[in-house]
Amino acid sequence: MNLKNKTFQQTLNDIISVSGIGLFSGEKVKIKLIPQKEDFGIAFKRIDKDENIKIKADLNFVVDSNRRTTIGVDNITVQMVEHILSALKAYQIDNVLIEVEGSEIPVIDGSSKFFAEKIEEVGIKLQKKEKKIFNLKKPIYFSKGSAHLIALPCEEFKISYTFHHPSSKLLSSQYYSYKVSSQTYKKEIAPSRTFSIYEEIKTLLDNNLIRGGDLNNAVLIKNDKVLNPGGTRFDEEMVRHKILDIIGDLTLIGKDFNAHIIGIKAGHAYNIEFAKLIEQNLI
């Protein structure tokens, strides 16, 4: 535990309500973020299913990590939790209950920008209880094929990411490095949208497995061209979104920690495996 500076737990100043469409289900979904007392942590509740079951934002409750991160208990699941968890981590929100009506978190525009704006709108409440900030006891390495993830001991939480997609000249190489901070998240990371290469998801689209996806909530690339009328928000928007995602996935460790995370061509499934290695090596 790092005792150089005392850090206290935080929650929201007020309730946040959000409604929208689920990217995969295409259904209308609603969520409500409710401030909680110290040591509550972050948890989800499917109030349309069973109000007595809380699903902790914890690696032990991850049930699927294919194209998005899904957590669940007893066949009650919440899909695509990574974007909202990313925003909560960036703003250091420790204690909140997220009530969900629907099977997934609203995709909004495919980024975390709206969540960041709502957090800033209601404000953050500093709580009285101190929180622990952990450190890595040794470097952590994870590799599978061309995907690599590394965590190095560091005095801050920083992510450096390289994204390369061999089938797209447009995505031949993107790099970005970012120190996670509430001061810069809304500007540098939150606006970056989820993205897909049309040729890779055509089968999913043809089989109606991405029912809520359109050019309003994702960057779509076809024949090495961005189909969205406004283009991209950043030259390296895709790799920034990879950073957004990994911040959210690592939040499922359930502990605040300092490390320099280095990522190359990983996705949700590998992020989760990597997070488990980090969890085992925190002091």
Residues recognised as catalytic: 268
Break the chain down into helix, strand, coil percent, rounded to 5: 25, 35, 40
Identify each DSSP E strand in the chain by its residue range: 8-12, 16-21, 28-35, 42-46, 55-56, 62-64, 70-73, 76-78, 96-101, 124-130, 133-135, 140-144, 147-152, 157-163, 174-179, 195-197, 219-222, 225-226, 256-264
To the nearest 10°, report the CA torsion of 235, 238, 242, 247: 50
Neighbours of 121 (CB within 10 A): 10
Residue 24: phi and psi, rounded to 5, are -90, -40
Annotate 191-223 with DSSP letters as a single string.
TPPPEEEHHHHHHHHHTTSSTT--TTSSEEEET
The CA distance from 159 to 270, in Å, is: 15
Instruction: Match 């960041």 to its residue by tokens.
Output: 116
